Structures are given as structure tokens and as C-alpha cells.
Chain A
Amino acid sequence: MLKVKGVTKTYGTIVALTDVSFEVEKGNFVFVTGPSGSGKTTLLRLILKDITPNKGKIILDGKDIGNLKRKEIPAYRQEIGMVFQDFRILPERTVRENIEVALAIIKAPSDEWNKRVNEVLEVVGLGDRKDLFPSQLSGGEIQRVSLARALVVEPKIILADEPTGNLDWETAEGIMELFEKINKKGKTVIVATHHELIVEKHGGKLNRKVVKLTKPKKRKVETKEKEIKNKS
């Protein structure tokens, strides 16, 4: 489904990623791990086509995203559900409106909005919070809104950049359980995290894959891909 082939990305003289390659099958749950500065966020931004690689290819469903024209990028991004570490929720809109924005972007029929918003809010456990503003929610709840917004467009793949980075352990666990629940429904999920405990706890299950990035040494980076087999 997703192929990352020999991707290298530099910011001026700073090397963020060197020759990273891995593949993701439909329904996989992939952890991208590594210390801060190892290029996890850069990798997700490359997949989202927020930035372009200096070398290598990223192929989603047989389509090389490097060949996408500027005007094709929005449609491509609509196929990806993105969850950000800093939530990136619209602060002046209610929970419901934040999710409706995503539906408006994909031009979903407006008579379906109510049903689809209620469904995803039930999935993330915020059914009773839909008319509240982000300032009235906790960090964990805001992250759930972000996840609901990503889910409502029924994306091919969900990318989560440090979704638990700003949350305490208990709340982080709740978010990870949500990702597992979504993955069990067949959705492909890629989570970037530096949280070893989370990877240890959730990375060893069926269909899980861990892509471990190491911090680049000057201008060179080592990339290690490790697939954890089902132990049972």
C-alpha cells in the first residue's frame, strides 16, 4: 500500500533522513520510533507531501507522490488522516465544527454530516462534548477530536505524529487503545513516537511493524527496519 524507497531529506546542511526504505501493507499498524531529531516528523511530513525529499520515492497505492502536481496535493491529502502532536485543532470552532470542516473539505453531502460526526465522536468517546470549544476540553480530549477529524473522512491511511507526546501516561494509553480499535477495523495506521514503553506495549502484536530511525551522525543516517513477528 505504502512504499518508502531510499528517501533522503536534508534541510540545508542538516541531514534529517538518509536512505530510508520500508513498506506498509493495508491494515498494518506501524510504529516509527527513534529519539528526537531522528526524522520521525520529517518522514510523516514527506508522506503527507508537506515537504519533498531530496532523493527517493514515496508510493501510495501505486502512485508516486513525487509526481503529484501542486493542484493534486489537496486531493491526495484528503486520502490521509493526519493527527498532530500539537493537535492542530481550530480553536474558534466547536468539536462538531472542527470535524465538519473535514467533511466540507472532501465535499461530503451535508445531509450526512450529522450522522458521520456522531459516529466518529462515539468511536473516540466524545459523544457528549460535541458542542464544546477546544478551550473547554482536556489535552486528551483535544487529541481525540483531532483523531475524530482524521477518521471522519474515511482515509486510506492514518498518520499520527507523536499523538501522545503532550499527554500523561494514562491519557496516552487511552489514545493508543483508540488507534488499536481503529486498526482492528482494517484501517492502516502509522504512529511516530519516541515513547519506548508505548512501542513495547503495543508494537508486539499481530500486523505490527516498527521502523526504527537513528539520529543522523553529521551528514549520514543509519536506518533500521525491524519487523516484529507475532510471538504467539
Chain B
Amino acid sequence: MSSIQVKTAFSSIRRSPFQAAAAIFVLTITFFIVTMLATLVYSSDRVLKHFETRPQIIAFLEDDISAKDVSVLQVKLGNDERIKNVVYISKDEALVIYKEATVDNPLLSELVSPSSFPASLEFSLADLIYAEEIIDELGNEEIVNEVGFTANIGGRAELKDAVSRLRTITKYFRIGGAIFVGALMFTSFLVLLIIIGMRLTSRRQEVEILDLIGATGAFIRAPIVLEAVIYALVGVFLGWLLALILVLYSTPSVIVYFGNISVLPRDTLELLTFFGILLGIQIIIGILLAVSGSSLAVARARKTK
């Protein structure tokens, strides 16, 4: 691209500042929402993952079993691809957990001893669809007294219900977000098409002259496409920056609100990497949007010459 084409693109923006502002404004809003929705999808994924990977099933063991038997079962479970994060909780550890859970009511702690609690093997599932079959299989193990779900989630039905609801919400959230983003992208595409079309109408004479003195289609197109790309890049950057500022501003409150559920990366570098990737993807989308919109506008203008 020659310096003359770059100069043409910038002078065209300078000469029609309101058209340029309109294009950039629409693109900024679009990419702001795209960034926010992408962040929300990412966060909802992390919430889902949190519930899916936390210990979900507890196999309460019989009282008088040997350490060897426990070890055999633990290895067996550890080798099962449907099962993740197998942890052995001894009677003493169970008591400690109980005491921590009842710290606000010391009377409850005083009434129990290690012998009150069974040792257990706790683990999470690769996918909840395996829950029922694993529970049935564990029920047949001789050293297993009883099988249950993590106490604070509730029964089998409740756990499945909670996670499947979460999944459904995430799914609809993604579909809704994709439709919304698609509509915004289409609006941005149309706005670019209209603005570049207006530009071309005012530059029709110039396009005709260039055509007659031997300019190729690419030569005529270059400054117009460049102008659209500038709008897209500015729009992407502003939208992304606004979203980043908003996320950074709200991160402390979000972390406090969700407690141990890590909805956003807690490490600054990880958060910035996530936003860097988002920026890269949006730059590519923005350039594609600008190139296709402006090329279509030029093709239409040359066709109707």
C-alpha cells in the first residue's frame, strides 16, 4: 500500500468526523458487549467446572477394615477414568472436618469422638452421567458401608438437578449471547456498509477518474478498506478497554461475592492473558468485518457505475 493510499484513508476520516464517530461508536459498543459476554461465558464455565470437580461422592467405609483393603479400593478408584481426585479421609480427619463445620456450636463437638465417624473415600466425577452406575458399583464393594453425596449439596437428585440446571443456564446463556453478538455484528456490518457507501458516493468522481487512468480495483479499494479497518481497530480497542476497566473495577467485589468459586482468574497475569487473547480474537473479527463490509460496498459502487 502506497503512502498516498494511507494518506487518502486518514484524510477521508478527517473530512467526515461525524461519520467516523458514528462508525467507531457502534463498533465500540459491539466489541464492549462481545468482551463482556465472553467474560461472562468464561466465568459461567468456571462456576460449572467448580461444581463438577468438587468432591461429589463419598464412600463411607466399614469400621473394622485393614489399611490394605482401603488402599486397594483407593487404587482401583484412582485408575477408573470416570473418577477424579480420590481422597482418603480417616476417622480423625472426619472429626476435624466436623469440628470445623460446627465451630459456632461447641456443644455439638463435645458430644462426638473419632469413633463416631466412619473413614471414607471422597472423589469427584469426570461427568455426572456416571454418578448412578458408580454409586451402584460402590454399593457392591464389601468394605463400603454406604455411599452418599457431599453433605452440603444434598441428595443424589439435588446434586444432579443443581448441576444440570447450571448447565442448562450456561447453554442458554451461550446461545442467547451468540445470537445477541451476531445481531450486533450484523448491525456493525450494515453501519460500516452504509458509511463506506456514503463515502463512495461522495468520492464517485474520484473512483471514476482513478479507474480511467488505470488504477486497479485493489488500488481503488485499498484506502476505503483501510479506513474501515481503522474504524474497526479503534472500535475493538475502545470496547475491549472499557470492558477491561469494568472487570478490573468489579473484580474485588466479584471475588468476595463468589467466595471460593473462582469466577475470574485471581492471578493478574492470568487475567491479562485472558483479556489479551480476547483482544487478539476481536482484532481478527474486526478486521474481517471491516474488510468484508468495505469490499462489498466498493464492489456495489463499481457495479452501479
A residues in contact (CB < 8 Å) with B: 48, 50, 71, 74-80, 82, 84, 88-90, 92, 97, 100-102, 104-106, 110, 149-150, 153
Contact = CB atoms under 8 A, between A and B. Distances in A.
Contacts of B206: 90, 92
B212 interface: yes
11 contacts: A48-B212, A50-B212, A71-B216, A74-B216, A78-B213, A82-B213, A88-B205, A88-B212, A105-B219, A106-B214, A153-B214
Interface of B: 2-5, 11, 15, 205-206, 208-210, 212-217, 219
A96 to B, nearest CB: 11
A102 B219 contact: no
**Which one of A76, A80, A104, A153 has the greatest number of beta carbons of chain B within 10 Å?**
A104
Chain B binding site: helix, strand, loop or mixed by DSSP? Answer: helix
A119 B255 CA distance: 70
A77 B212 contact: yes
A78 B212 contact: no
Contacts, number: 52
Contact of B214 (A71, A78, A92, A100): A78
A90 B213 contact: no
A40 to B, nearest CB: 16
Given A88-B209, A90-B206, A92-B11, A75 B4 contact: no
A159 B214 CA distance: 14
A156 to B, nearest CB: 12
Contacts of B4: 97, 100-101, 104
A5 B11 CA distance: 46
A76 B212 CA distance: 10
A90 B217 CA distance: 18
Given A90-B206, A92-B11, A104 B219 contact: yes
